[in-house]
Amino acid sequence: MEGSAPIPKWGTLESIIGFKNVINIYPPYIGAGIQVESIDDSFQKITVKMDLNFWNENYVGVHFGGSLYAMCDPFYMFILMKNLGDGYLVWDKAAKIDFVKPGKGIVRATFEISTEELKLTKEIVAKKRKTDRIYHTEVLAEDGSVVAKVEKTLYVRRVKLTI
């Protein structure tokens, strides 16, 4: 079994136009108006934004809950995959979202995993072969108020690489 790696079409696109641009042209994200705004040089922090538009506005004129969750779905997995590298299998295992207040206008979420947390994850996996890691973020309105709170559980396992 191999570690987590993008499928060939994603890997090829990423090598041509870069990770951020690949995610920003992902059809479900285009439709929902979701954009990766920034990725730090260490690939440990990603900020995503979404503006309210016709395609993500719900029946009562605020952000559709599914779009709010979609903007938070894969980013902790991406951070772990990019930082742990080959030899690790990373999967989303569970998620929870609490809608705190209606989202209007531009909303943002930042996903960050510290160097210490990455090191700890590697240490746990080295001893136990696998672990579940829980991460939290908030979706924020333009004024900084909390629109939603998100909890993600990721499964990380060491795998043998095949050559």
Class of domain 8-158: alpha beta
pLDDT, residue 1, reads 47
Q: Say how far apart CA 157 and CA 50 lie, in whole Å.
A: 32
Beta pairing class for 45-51 and 34-39: antiparallel
Which pTM value belongs to this model? 0.92
Mean pLDDT by 10 residues, the chain (163 residues): 70 88 92 95 98 94 96 96 94 97 97 98 97 98 98 95 65
Q: 28 phi and psi, to 5 degrees?
A: -60, -30
